[in-house]
Structure 1
Amino acid sequence: MDTGQDAAALGLDFGTTNTVVARADGADQSQLLEFAGAEATGAVFRSALCFWEDEAGWNGAAHDAGPWAIAEYLQSPLDSRFVQSFKTVAASPLFERAMIFNRPFRFEDLGRLFLQKLVAHAGGQLDRRPARVVVGRPVEFAGARADPALARQRYDQMFAAFGSEIIYVHEPLGAAFSYAARLTEPATILVADFGGGTTDFSLVRVGAPGAARRCVPLASSGVGIAGDRFDRRIVERLVLPMLGRGGQYRSMGKVLDIPGGYFSEFADWSRLAMMRNRKTLDELRRLQRHALEPEAVGRMIALIEHEQGFPLYDAVGQLKRALSSADEAAFRFHGEGVTIEATVRRAEFEAWIAEDLQRIEAALDDALARAGVAEPAIDRVFLTGGSSLIPAVRAIFERRFGDGRLATGGELTSIAHGLALIGAQPNAAEWAA
């Protein structure tokens, strides 16, 4: 961005899977920023990076982001590193740096490089530094030992050059502000935001149009379970058994279980690409030599070495989307000598994610309890985010609130719209998380 300043406020929904930007056109209207170029996919910019070795690039690597990262990967998968879902490590004290071509990249490095390309592909729309940027953040960050203070520190470094004033707002509050623009009378609304890494809830009291403060947040809650976790369940059931999960190896005259850490990393989209390093591959090759089923470990090595993370992600996503509209669907993956084909019934998938759905519903209960609002007092329930389209997810809200109170729409864009509207308010800082 140049040093010139744009008076307009931006809303930036930096998501685990996708990133969306909106610009406020006034206190009650905002417009999505459309990206430009042959690879552009409208207003949705994939939260992904692709690196390839180039001494002229930052830290010895050139890069691209969004759909252009996917195109670069597909053009030369063996000479690149494809990184996605990196937002999920923002709050992790266990994550210090990713080794890409044996060079270290911190979370904030990945974030800044991602934003540079987002600006570059915006066709000049982001060349002037916005006066105010409202950035969405989850209510609860993903990760078993998530540290929100660490995530805030990393976000500050990531967004430091992006706008003159950066305000962080809970993502479901952005969606609430967007949905409130549809309402013509006062209401108490529950927003459920199903992202890639987290599921977040906010309860908001919406005043009549023209009220001094249209939206008043009552309470929020969240859990680090969402679309990526559902993907993980598919990988655990259909892919990992082919790669040696549950297998054994010989060591010092004993037969031991293959360590589960390799499979945990493989099933995590933010970490899979990072397994392609000399240390991990050497460990896997040693394990393969002593494994009771060496061919299974060999399949894992082949998928890692040949950068099959994105094709696997694509196959899992196709299955998940198909099961949202059909009672059964085919899973098909072919790559580097590994073929996995299976027919999956929706009931099977729902059984795989049943425990995750229970934890999501517990977070919903927590939000209601914090707000002191009973279910009958909720006038509208707004479901947003890609995973809100999964029938088993929607069924939770149909059972508890009835279909007549449910509203949907703008699953990938509503948060950015609302964040931009918040940025246009004179009291925008009051919404800060």
Structure 2
Amino acid sequence: MTPPVSIGIDFGTTNTVVALADPDGRVEAVRFRHRDADLRVYLSALSFWQEGRGASARTRRAGGPFAVDAFLEGHLGLRFVQSFKSFAASAAFKETRIFRDRFQFEDLLAAFVRTLLQDAGAPLDLASGRVVIGRPVRFVGHNPDEALAMRRYAAAFSRLGVGDALYAYEPVGAAFFYARRLEGEATVLIADFGGGTSDFSVMRFARSDGRLTATPLGHSGLGIAGDAFDSRIVDHLVAPHLGKGGTYRSMGGKILPLPAHYYANLSRWHQLALMKWSGDLQDLQDLARFAVDPAPLERFIDLVENDLGFALYQSVSATKVALSGEERAELHFRGPGTAVEVRRSLSRAEFEQLIAPDVARIADAVDQALASAELSPGAIDQVFLTGGTSFVPAIRSLFAEKFGPERVASSDQFESIAHGLALLGQLPDAERWAAGRL
């Protein structure tokens, strides 16, 4: 018997979406009220801070967009945690300490989902129906331990009252979302581009007596997606404006390059905030006194001191989006009340050159999915692209050239995976789709 309601959870590196489906095929994403907006996407982030002092201090937390609000409000000693999905399969990540408490990965995931449930616009009980949770085909990181990641997922959701959760590959969820538009048989390649991972699945769909059937044929994935493209823009346009490539005078009078490791923090905006508490800010201030040209480092210091990283990355992301429709876009960012201002033009051709190594690795992963399915590109009837990165022209060109533009379709719905996972939960044989049983 199918459940009255099934719940699909697309827990992403950058964003998380939850959807509900009923036996009649109706499906809708859960909404979150933030300020004056109803959001269907919940940022995969947590903020922790303390109220009170000493033994009476109480730890508070916020999730999603409310975590960013807390971060920008400047609570003293606040800990901001984002993209922690990246550590799911890392045996090297044992725990992190937040004030007096120790958090393992499963603790962070359970705390995050609890805040999401609290912020949902309507009551949401994970014990009330079948729960289908998405997982990447390949977890990110060096030598990822898939079994460890799944044990951590299971431990977290067990604490949330989910006794029989199913875990399905994220592109399989996207496939079920897409398959509703199919009228006959088709072999489909699904490409899911998230913030931290890109995943690919090949599936065979058919309809018999009005019922959709599907057979999984092959999968692949890699830890490169939209966040990597943003980082390429930051490294190319922003980092030189903040001193990357500059020099300073040593105590002995030698001219030395500025240490590059400070600029690695620019790859994630929240890492800039950590520089205020790690001692890196003081190091930058010391370097600025000996820099051959101190102005760029002073701008870097302003960026960190004034918590401008989030606003900077919003500008970077907007530039990337603009390049999907224009041949040239301008990155213009100005920090209010500071000397930080970046105004640089970037052509689509330059952007495509920057991301060429990433696109090449994505192309290799597509070939791996085809190889695992033992199919040639000509055997694919339809290609379905989902996720914001799928609108990057270089990505669309990759698929159009390999499969033909007439076979490529896409969706701008960030909730397509969660929708598909929820629909999958309505299938009588949903257990067959659990990852690892395909």
By the TM > 0.5 criterion, same fold?
A: yes
Aligned position for 1:47: 44
Aligned partners of 1:174 and 1:422 also within 8 Å: yes
Q: C-alpha displacement at 1:64, in angstroms?
A: 1.7
Change (3 A) 1:77 1:266: farther
Are the counterparts in 2 of residues 139 and 221 from structure 1 also a CA contact under 8 Å? yes
In 1: Cα distance, 2:96 partner to 2:147 partner: 20
In structure 2, relative to structure 1, the CA distance for the partners of 1:95 and 1:177 (3 Å cut) is same
Figure out how many residues of one structure are paired with residues of the other and give that number.
428
Q: Judge conservation of contact 1:83–1:273 (CA < 8 Å) in 2.
A: no
**Per the alignment, do residues 244 and 28 of structure 1 end up closer, same or farther by CA in structure 2, a change over 3 Å counting?**
same
Compared with structure 1, are the counterparts of its residues 42 and 72 closer, same or farther at alpha carbon in structure 2 (3 Å cutoff)? same
Do residues 31 (structure 1) and 25 (structure 2) align? no
Report the equivalent of 1:356: 358
**8 Å Cα contact 1:276/1:304 also seen in 2:** yes
Q: Output aligned runs, 1:218-229, within 5 Å.
A: 218-229=217-228
Note if contact 1:78-1:307 (Cα within 8 Å) is conserved in structure 2: no
Q: How far apart are residue 21 of structure 1 and its match?
A: 0.8
* Structure-2 residue corresponding to 1:319: 319
**Contact 1:228–1:269 (8 Å) recurs in 2:** no
**Equivalence for 2:194:** 195
Q: Pick closer, same or farther for the CA change 1:223–1:270 going to 2, 3 Å.
A: farther
How far has the Cα of 1:102 moved from its partner? Answer: 8.8
Give the structure 2 partner of residue 165 of structure 1: 164
For residues 39 and 97 of structure 1, what CA distance do their matches in structure 2 show?
Answer: 36
8 Å CA contact retained: 1:40, 1:67: no
Match of 1:14 in 2: 11
Q: Aligned in 2, Cα 1:209/1:62: closer, same or farther, shift over 3 Å?
A: farther
Q: Once the two structures are superposed, what CA deviation does each residue of 1:135-183 show, in whole Å capped at 9, x if it has no partner?
A: 1111112234433233323323432333222222110011011111211
> Does the Cα contact within 8 Å between 2:247 and 2:255 map onto a contact in 1?
yes
Q: Match for 2:29: what amino acid? A: L
1:251-330 aligned at under 5 Å gives the runs 253=252, 255-269=255-269, 271-330=271-330
Cα distance in structure 2, aligned partners of 1:398 and 1:426: 36
Q: Are 2:232 and 1:230 aligned? A: no
5 Å-filtered alignment, 1:29-428, equals: 29-36=26-33, 38-55=35-52, 60-76=58-74, 80-97=78-95, 105-127=103-125, 129-162=127-160, 163-210=162-209, 214-250=213-249, 253=252, 255-269=255-269, 271-335=271-335, 336-428=338-430
CA distance in 2, matches of 1:161, 1:338: 45
CA contact (8 A) 1:245 1:260 kept: yes
- Contact 1:8–1:24 (CA under 8 A) maintained in structure 2: yes
- What is the alpha-carbon distance in structure 2 between the residues aligned to residue 58 and residue 360 of structure 1? 51
Q: 1:195-243, CA deviations, whole angstroms, 9 ceiling, x for partnerless residues?
A: 1111111000112144777111111001111100000001101111122
State the AA in 1 paired with 2:369.
A
Is residue 187–residue 205 contact of structure 1 (8 Å, CA) maintained in 2? yes
Larger mean Cα displacement after TM superposition, 405-414 or 383-392? 405-414
Structure 1 338/58 Cα, relative in aligned 2: closer, same or farther at 3 Å? farther
Deviation of the 1:270 alpha carbon: 6.0
Quick one: percent identity of the two aligned structures? Answer: 46
Contact 2:191 2:201 in 1 (8 A): yes
> What secondary structure, in the 3-state scheme, does the structure 2 residue paired with 1:214 have?
strand
Alpha-carbon offset, residue 106 of structure 1 = 4.2
Secondary structure at the residue paired with 1:411?
coil
CA distance in 2, matches of 1:92, 1:383: 28
- CA change 1:49–1:202 in 2 (3 A) is same
Deviation at 1:122, TM superposition (A): 1.3
SS state at 1:41 partner: strand
Kindly tell me: are residues 31 and 273 of structure 1, through their superposed partners in 2, closer, same or farther at Cα, counting changes over 3 Å?
same
Determine if contact 1:9/1:424 at 8 Å carries over to the other structure: yes
Q: Distance in 1 between matches of 2:325 and 2:274?
A: 34
Contact 2:270 2:309 in 1 (8 A): no
Q: C-alpha distance in 2, partners of 1:24/1:305?
A: 46
Aligned-partner Cα distance in 2 for 1:305–1:246: 22
What are structure 2's unaligned runs of at least 5 residues? none
Alignment check: 8 A CA contact 1:39 1:68 kept: no
After TM superposition, give the deviation of residue 294 of structure 1 in Å: 4.1
Report the 3-state secondary structure (helix = DSSP H, G, I; strand = E; otherwise coil) of the residue aligned with 1:324: coil
Task: Indicate the RMSD between aligned Cα atoms, in angstroms.
Answer: 2.9
**Which residue identity lines up with residue 227 of structure 1 in the other structure?**
G
Gaps of 5+ in 1: 1-5
Give 2:384's aligned amino acid.
F
> Which residue type is aligned with residue 351 of structure 2?
F
Q: TM-score, normalised by structure 2?
A: 0.88
- Seen in structure 2, the aligned counterparts of structure 1 residues 85 and 257 have a Cα distance that, compared at 3 Å, is same
How many angstroms apart in 2 are the aligned matches of 1:128 and 1:144? 32
Task: Flag the 1:273–1:12 CA change in 2: closer, same or farther, 3 A.
Answer: farther
The answer to whether the 8 Å contact 2:49/2:76 transfers is no
CA separation of 1:365/1:184 partners in 2, compared to 1, >3 Å: closer, same or farther?
same
Distance 1:41 1:166, change over 3 A: same
Farther-moved stretch of structure 1 (41-50 vs 254-263): 254-263
Shift of 1:325: 1.2
Quickly say closer, same or farther: Cα 1:104–1:275, change in 2 above 3 A. farther
Distance 1:156 1:294 in 2: 51
SS of residue paired to 2:279: helix
SS of residue in 2 equivalent to 1:246: coil
The residue identity in structure 2 corresponding to 1:13 is: D
Letter in 2 for 1:176: A
Q: Which moved more, 1:210-219 or 1:117-126?
A: 210-219
- Distance of 1:278 and 1:288 partners within structure 2: 18
**Contact 1:141–1:223 (8 Å) recurs in 2:** yes
Against the structure 1 CA distance between its residues 104 and 315, is the aligned structure 2 distance closer, same or farther, given a 3 Å change threshold?
farther
158-167 vs 213-222, greater mean Cα deviation: 158-167
The change in CA–CA distance for 1:370 and 1:109 in structure 2 (over 3 A counts) is same
TM-score using structure 1 length: 0.89
